[in-house]
Amino acid sequence: MTGRWRRLVREPLVHFFAAGALLFVLYTAVGGPEQASSGEVVVDQARVEALRAGFERLRSRPPNHEELQALVDAWVEEEILVREARALGLQQGDTLIRRRLAQKMAWITQGTDVERPTEDELRAWWADHPTDYTAPATVSLRQVAYGGETLPPSAAAVVGSTAVPPAATVEGLPAVLQDADSAGLVATFGEDFATRLDGLPTGTWQGPIRSPFGVHLVLVTERAAPEVVPFAQARPHVLRDLSDARTAAAGEAAMARLRERYEVRVTSDAYARTVAEGTP
Amino acid sequence: MTTRRELWLLALIGAWGCTPKQPMTDADEAPAVAEAPEPEATIEKSPLKNAYFGELHIHTAYSLDAYIFGTHDNDPFVAYRFAKGEEVDMPGGGRKKLVAPLDFAAVTDHAEALGEYELCTNPESSMYSSEACEGIRGGDMGFFEKIFAGLATTPTKREVAICGEDGQACVDAISGPWGRIQQAANEANDPGNFTAFVAWEYSSNAPEGGGGMMHRNVIFRSAAVPDTVFSAFDGMGEDLHAFLEENCTGDCQVLTIPHNPNFYWGRLYWGKNSDGSEWTEEGLARRVKLDRLVEIMQVKGNSECQKGIGTTDEDCNFELVFDKCAPGENVGCSNDYAFVRNGLKLGLEHQASRGVNPFKQGIIGSTDNHNGTPSDTKEDEFRGHYGTNDMDPEVRLGLKANPTAEAMGMSGDDDPTKLYNPGGIAGVWAEANTRESIWDALHRKETFGTSGTRTKIRLFGGFGWPADAHAGEGWVKRGYDEGVPQGGDLSAAPEGQAPSFMVWSMRDPNSAPLARLQIIKGWRTADGELEEQTFDVACSDGGTPDPSTHRCPDNGATVNLEDCSISQDKGASTLATTWTDPDFDAAQHAFYYARVLENPVCRWSMYDAMKAGVEHPADLPKTIRERAWSSPIWYTP
């Protein structure tokens, strides 16, 4: 396809005309204008007021006589078109209309506010979900980086001891890390280094530990186990999580109430088989 | 059983229904129980400074375009959580987290349609049920076109169907989201651990259209900010500067960051106001005072330089979006004013002829993604940047139409979005991770930008340094004591001495090793010519720069295109040197900045082609050489 043709196919206006042509065919097939529905279009006071209010909301002033007349005319024509469209069943199978109706209904059905949690409820949620409010394990360490593939002999000599190691040959890396969690270790020294620290003895120089910067001597000075964050500190997160959970639960409950009123009957054997076998 | 989608729908609608739009927090309630944040004064400062990485350009649901693209749940609060390392939902499904938390971030939602966003997403607004708002909530790209097209008309006009004839309804509605943007930043700010800035993006369109944009990010130092935002509906970029000067006073301090010089259609560096009118003295002074930095690289392309447009530098052709403009052409192409390096050179000319340099900008990188996921830059985890519009790899690869590009008037063969990339990252050298320290570093331009990795780069300039000044422990202290860091100024060269530069770079442990370190010099000759030269100054794998070509030998690093693995034995973890300008003329205006190139890795498009099971498009590069740029150091005679 040439670029120009491709562009034409993507053009919304082209889609519009194509859809229009299709509708025209459909329309004439079902009988044309003389056989379409007819009847009364009522313009009552409530309708006029609604149109007037809509105008005012947008323009911050009431419509004048001509503007009001134009609004009413437009509404009448829209009403007629909507009725004609309905008579043709154009709303059937329109996913946009379907989705919009579903949205509106879901909205009305649920309709209830999600209650703001009390302090006791927040505390209970915090106590019931300790893993969500646990600070990760941390490690404090000293490290000396030497680059290259192997430790220099003078550095290898201090492994297992607390002796002073030879000076680093790679600079720009922190010599001391305080209370670093896994994400912090990965950011500074990469994944492999972070993984290697697990289970490394504390209190003496260990190595070689490899990173993208070469080999290191590492002295783990302290480890802190994962710890549940005190409620006072965790409270903003607890509030957010419990509120989210309640909103989700309210949605689920509303849908469940609706579904209770329906029986779902699957008439597609193929689908029923798929469900039974758990295959796609 | 209820499907996931239905649950999501119900939950979402429930959340919109009767609860207030903002997340439940203590802001409107009893005093917070959480412990008081650490006062900034007690936070330890490193006088030799640390590198901090962050994002100063990110859009969330509050940017109406992002919202229409399908980013509904990732608001400023969520964006900061992502920046701090939490896992969050992606628009279009799935969850994502950063490889490591960021040090700082500023959510920069478009100021332009904050009111429209509020009116269309807050069910209590009278416009909520309007057709326009339903269209926006339904992702109708027509409304994106209409609302953002209103910015291109003269005078600009807000969408009547939402804002009313006089636009006032939308102006009035700004206060809600503007308040919550501040709230999100102030709550996320955690001195010593994480810095969050109050910010917005000013986004005016170039009058030529074609997706042209003349945008700036507006970053505030503290919680003291103007009562309302200034958007393209209120005036030009120059008016934004005047607004800030008038409305950001007292405790309020602010800087602005233009981005995408490549999309300005030349209007950033052309030597005039953005509407083509002549500069005024006051306007120029505001530019110098406020435009402290420029985004050299982001999602919508690299804006450093382009071979054939004022340079012969081979390494310029990197993640470029546009071809060079044909004679007489100016839109959707690269012209002489489209690049940071050319802007820096033009700045020297203004300095010489006017005594003021309006383009004395430091360098950062950013994403500008519209998913609410700051610094989400990994090539192998790219998920697009336009909400659900480009969540499909085939859209990103240009094999299917990109709705965002089409709505911006860049459809079919004119759609450049397959040349986009996951974006860059901002780096600063600062004493501590606090608003004061990091903002001050931004302000003094002690910054760097990367193409998306966390590579560090550091530059000092001074006189009389020996060739091994960079080696050994005290070099940083020496840099500060005897010279100036990146973003600084040199002048009054001692008789017979050329400036020396200590330059150092360290790889990102989660990306590829470094290949070569470079210094780019720009200068103005005695007869007013603007020149430039790229010098390789340190090579990996034992190489030395060729004295005549100033190039390092190729280190031979390769990428295996079958599985994207890279050479294990090539490249360096750090590169450093002390370089003295061999052609220095103390009478000439000049600038110097450093650039480091990494070994190549697979580009996002390779990973996408694998994910989609399609042939990699022949017109896209398969690999990328990630890189970092330091801010320049200027020499003024």
Taking CB atoms and an 8 Å limit, are B456 and A233 in contact across chains?
Answer: no
What is the overall mean pLDDT for chain B? 91
CA dihedral A122, A128, A133, A134 (to 10 degrees): 150
Lowest mean pLDDT among A19-28, A85-94, A100-109, B626-635: A19-28
Q: When comparing pLDDT for B143 and B51, which is higher? A: B51
Choose the mutation target among B573, B577, B596, B626 for the interface with A, i.e. most A CBs under 10 Å.
B573
| pLDDT at residue B214 tops 50 | yes
Q: What is the pLDDT of residue B142?
A: 85
Q: Which residues of chain B from 496 to 525 reach within 8 Å of chain A, CB to CB?
A: 504, 506-507, 509-510, 513
Distance from CA of A31 to the nearest CA of B (A): 32
Residue A279, C-beta contacts closer than 8 angstroms, at least 6 positions apart: none
Q: When comparing pLDDT for B623 and B122, which is higher? A: B623
- B317 and B354, same structural domain? yes
Taking CB atoms and an 8 Å limit, are A60 and B164 in contact across chains?
Answer: yes
Nearest CA in chain B to A191: B510
Nearest residue to A168 via CA among A184, A192, A152, A186: A152
Contact predicate A83/A91, CB 8 Å: no
Taking CB atoms and an 8 Å limit, are A110 and B506 in contact across chains?
Answer: no
Q: What is the DSSP string of B297-341?
A: EETTEE-S--TTSS---GGG-SS--SPBPPTT--SSSB-TTS-HH
| pLDDT at residue A199 tops 70 | yes
Q: What is the DSSP letter of B51?
A: E
Nearest residue to B81 via CA among A240, A231, A188: A240
Q: Spell out the SS3 assignment of A128-178.
A: HCHHHHEECCEEEEEEEEEECCCCCHHHHCCCCCCCCCCCCCCCCCCCEEE
- B462 and B397, same structural domain? no
| pLDDT at residue B477 tops 70 | yes
Strand order in the sheet with B254-258: B199-205, B213-220, B254-258
Averaging pLDDT over each range in A34-38, B289-293, B327-331, which range is the top one?
B289-293
- Looking at B441, B463, B479, the residue that finishes a domain is B441
| pLDDT at residue B14 tops 60 | no
Q: What is the pLDDT of residue A111?
A: 52
Angstrom distance (rounded) from CA B312 to CA B334: 15
What is the overall mean pLDDT for chain A? 83
Q: Categorize the per-residue pLDDT at A240 as very low, low, confident or very high, splitting at 50, 70 and 90.
A: confident
**Of all residues in chain A, what percent are helix, strand and coil, respectively (each to 5)?**
55, 15, 30
| Mean pLDDT (whole number) for B91-104 | 93
- Looking at B391, B408, B441, the residue that finishes a domain is B441
Contact predicate B374/B105, CB 8 Å: yes
Q: What is the DSSP string of B236-295?
A: -HHHHHHHHHHHS-TT--EEEEE--GGGTTTTTTSSS-TTSPPP-HHHHHHHHHHB-EEE
Angstrom distance (rounded) from CA A52 to CA A46: 10
Q: Looking at the DSSP assignment, which residues form a beta bridge with residue B501?
A: B461, B579
Nearest CA in chain A to B576: A171
- B80 and B171, same structural domain? yes
CA B114 to chain centre: 21
Q: What percent of chain B has pLDDT over 70?
A: 94
Nearest CA in chain B to A212: B509
Distance from CA of A39 to the nearest CA of B (A): 27
Distance from CA of A205 to the nearest CA of B (A): 22
| Mean pLDDT (whole number) for B243-252 | 97
Angstrom distance (rounded) from CA B93 to CA B8: 11
Q: What is the pLDDT of residue A21?
A: 52
| pLDDT at residue A138 tops 50 | yes
Contact predicate B539/B545, CB 8 Å: yes
Lowest mean pLDDT among A247-251, B84-88, B286-290, B303-307: A247-251
Taking CB atoms and an 8 Å limit, are A214 and B7 in contact across chains?
Answer: no
Tokens 């940083």 belong to which residue? Answer: B476
Between the CA of residue B25 and those of A278, B22, B164, B225, B413, what are the distances in Å? 43, 8, 33, 22, 48
Taking CB atoms and an 8 Å limit, are B456 and A172 in contact across chains?
Answer: yes
Taking CB atoms and an 8 Å limit, are A259 and B2 in contact across chains?
Answer: yes
- B540 and B472, same structural domain? yes
Backbone CA torsion sign across A48, A54, A56, A59: negative
Taking CB atoms and an 8 Å limit, are A240 and B23 in contact across chains?
Answer: yes
Taking CB atoms and an 8 Å limit, are A186 and B100 in contact across chains?
Answer: yes
Question: Which sequence spans correspond to the domains of chain A?
Answer: 1-35, 36-92, 119-125+229-277, 137-225
Taking CB atoms and an 8 Å limit, are B100 and A235 in contact across chains?
Answer: no
Angstrom distance (rounded) from CA B494 to CA B239: 42
| pLDDT at residue B27 tops 60 | no
| pLDDT at residue B540 tops 60 | yes
Distance from CA of B72 to the nearest CA of A (A): 15
- Reduce the DSSP state of residue A273 to 3 states and report it: helix
Contact predicate B416/B334, CB 8 Å: no
Which residues of chain A are within 8 Å of residue B44 when distances are taken between CB atoms? none
Q: Which residues of chain B from 452 to 491 reach within 8 Å of chain A, CB to CB?
A: 454, 456, 473
Q: What is the pLDDT of residue B126?
A: 80
Q: What is the pLDDT of residue A60?
A: 64
- B426 inside domain: yes
Q: What is the pLDDT of residue A112?
A: 56
Q: Categorize the per-residue pLDDT at B38 as very low, low, confident or very high, splitting at 50, 70 and 90.
A: low
For B584, the token pair is 């220095």
Q: What is the pLDDT of residue B270?
A: 96
Q: What is the pLDDT of residue B37?
A: 52
- B398 and B543, same structural domain? no
Which residues of chain A are within 8 Å of residue B12 when distances are taken between CB atoms? 251
B179 in contact with chain A, both atoms CB, cutoff 8 A:
no
A194 sits in which H/E element = helix A191-197
- B464 and B382, same structural domain? no
Contact predicate B490/B635, CB 8 Å: yes
Contact predicate B120/B173, CB 8 Å: no
From the number of C-beta atoms within 10 Å of its C-beta (0-12, 13-18, 19+), residue A271 rates as: exposed
| B168 vs A60, A187, A251: nearest CB | A60
Q: CATH topology for A137-225? A: Chitinase A; domain 3 (3.10.50)
| pLDDT at residue A114 tops 80 | no
CA A38 to chain centre: 47
What is the pTM assigned to this prediction?
Answer: 0.83
| pLDDT at residue A23 tops 70 | no
Q: How many CB pairs under 8 A join A and B?
A: 146
- Reduce the DSSP state of residue B204 to 3 states and report it: strand
Q: Categorize the per-residue pLDDT at A3 as very low, low, confident or very high, splitting at 50, 70 and 90.
A: very low
Domain that holds residue B161: 47-441
Q: What is the DSSP string of B156-180?
A: ----HHHH-TTSHHHHHTTHHHHHH
Nearest residue to B298 via CA among B241, B374, B388: B374
Residue B268, C-beta contacts closer than 8 angstroms, at least 6 positions apart: B214, B258, B261, B274, B337, B343
Which residues of chain A are within 8 Å of residue B101 when distances are taken between CB atoms? 183-184, 187
CB atoms within 10 A of CB A274: 12
| A110 vs B13, B165, B454: nearest CB | B13
Q: Categorize the per-residue pLDDT at B275 as very low, low, confident or very high, splitting at 50, 70 and 90.
A: very high
Which residues of chain A are within 8 Å of residue B509 when distances are taken between CB atoms? 186-190, 193, 211-213
What is the number of domains present in chain B? 2
ipTM of the complex: 0.79
Angstrom distance (rounded) from CA A48 to CA B474: 82
Averaging pLDDT over each range in A168-177, A258-267, B111-120, which range is the top one?
B111-120
| Mean pLDDT (whole number) for A142-164 | 95
Which residues of chain A are within 8 Å of residue B14 when distances are taken between CB atoms? 110, 114, 247, 250-251, 254
| Mean pLDDT (whole number) for B361-373 | 98
- B596 and B478, same structural domain? yes
Angstrom distance (rounded) from CA B345 to CA B350: 9
B187 in contact with chain A, both atoms CB, cutoff 8 A:
yes
- B462 and B432, same structural domain? no
Which residues of chain A are within 8 Å of residue B19 when distances are taken between CB atoms? 113-114, 243, 247
Nearest CA in chain A to B129: A104
Which residues of chain A are within 8 Å of residue B165 when distances are taken between CB atoms? 58-60
Distance from CA of A257 to the nearest CA of B (A): 11
Which residues of chain A are within 8 Å of residue B411 when distances are taken between CB atoms? 7, 10
Distance from CA of A37 to the nearest CA of B (A): 27
**Given its phi and psi angles, is residue A31 left (phi above 0), alpha (psi -120 to 50 degrees) or beta?**
left
Q: What is the pLDDT of residue B478?
A: 97
Q: What percent of chain A has pLDDT over 90?
A: 46
| A213 vs B23, B412, B509: nearest CB | B509
Q: What is the pLDDT of residue A95?
A: 72
The β-bridge relationship of strands B293-298 and B301-302 is: antiparallel
Angstrom distance (rounded) from CA B219 to CA B202: 11
Nearest residue to B533 via CA among B590, B451, B490: B590
Query: What per-residue string of b and e applies to B556-584 under the rule 16 or more CB within 10 Å gives b?
Result: ebebeeeebebbeebbbbbbbbbbbbeeb
Q: What is the pLDDT of residue A1?
A: 35
- B197 and B155, same structural domain? yes
| pLDDT at residue A56 tops 80 | no
Nearest residue to B15 via CA among A107, A98, A192: A107
- B539 and B398, same structural domain? no
Angstrom distance (rounded) from CA B358 to CA B343: 9
- Reduce the DSSP state of residue A56 to 3 states and report it: helix
Angstrom distance (rounded) from CA B486 to CA B560: 36
- B483 and B360, same structural domain? no
Tokens 């193409």 belong to which residue? Answer: B451
Taking CB atoms and an 8 Å limit, are A186 and B510 in contact across chains?
Answer: yes
| A239 vs B17, B25, B456: nearest CB | B25
DSSP E strand boundaries for chain A: 134-135, 138-147, 176-180, 206-211, 214-224, 227-228
CB atoms within 10 A of CB A188: 19
Q: Categorize the per-residue pLDDT at B422 as very low, low, confident or very high, splitting at 50, 70 and 90.
A: very high
- B489 and B375, same structural domain? no
